[in-house]
Amino acid sequence: MRRARVCVDGQSCALARHAGRQGRRGRNAAGREGRYKSSLVDAETYFLACHRYIELNPVRAGIVAEPGKYLWSSHGHYASGELNGLITEHSMYLRLGVSKADRQATFRSLFLDSLTTETIANIRTSTNAGSALGSEAFMKHIQAAVGRDVRLPRRGRPSKDDAAVTPIDAVSGKLL
């Protein structure tokens, strides 16, 4: 027995039919399932680096030449003061200067140099692994708060003589 569809217009009915067909073919209808990833970030050490990483993604992808040119970017707000009611300024941004002009100038200066390949790799690795990103003190604090390891997971099978897990620094990826 078929269920009746209630559609606002013909386009939404067509979309519902397409989604139903995709579901029957074993695909997710939205096409986005499993793509969202996040990572807990130590604001003191990585917030501005992550902000720069996000703002520079459209530049790295070749979509725009400058981060402020991307339509969905917050760069224009932070660098030039363009009004955007969707943005709440983070306390780390507010620390960039006493006045709004000082903060904007400092923010713009952050984009004069590229992120290091190590920083980009650390951000990507921690995000893909779902691990925290920050200083050792931050990692210990978060681990105590959530009651589980928040560092990058160790790859491979643990050795037999490893009684305790050797911690890995999420920032550098090196054994501690």
Domain edge (last residue) among 76, 92, 110: 110
Cα separations in angstroms, 13 against 4, 6, 17, 33: 11, 8, 6, 22
Q: Which residues pair with 41 in a beta bridge?
A: 133
Residue 7 has pLDDT above 60, yes or no: no
Q: For residue range 162-174, what is the model confidence (pLDDT) as tens digits?
A: 555 556 655 565 5
Query: What pLDDT does 52 receive?
Result: 95
- 56 and 13 in one domain? no
Mean pLDDT of 102-128: 93
| Domain-located, residue 164 | no
- Average pLDDT for the chain: 80
Q: How many domains would you assign to the chain?
A: 2
| Domain-located, residue 124 | no
Mean pLDDT of 103-131: 92
- 70 and 106 in one domain? yes
- 100 and 59 in one domain? yes
Stated pTM of the model:
0.66
Q: How far apart are CA 110 and CA 113, in angstroms?
A: 7
Q: How far apart are CA 133 and CA 72, in angstroms?
A: 25
Domain edge (last residue) among 110, 132, 159: 110
| Domain-located, residue 115 | no
Q: For residue range 53-106, what is the model confidence (pLDDT) as tens digits?
A: 999 999 999 999 999 999 999 999 999 999 999 999 999 999 999 999 999 999
| Domain-located, residue 69 | yes
| Domain-located, residue 2 | yes
- 99 and 56 in one domain? yes
- 77 and 26 in one domain? no
Residue found under tokens 């050792």: 136
| Domain-located, residue 65 | yes
Q: Whole domain around residue 68: which residue ranges?
A: 50-110
| Domain-located, residue 145 | no
**Percent of the chain clearing pLDDT 70 (strictly above):** 70
- 60 and 20 in one domain? no
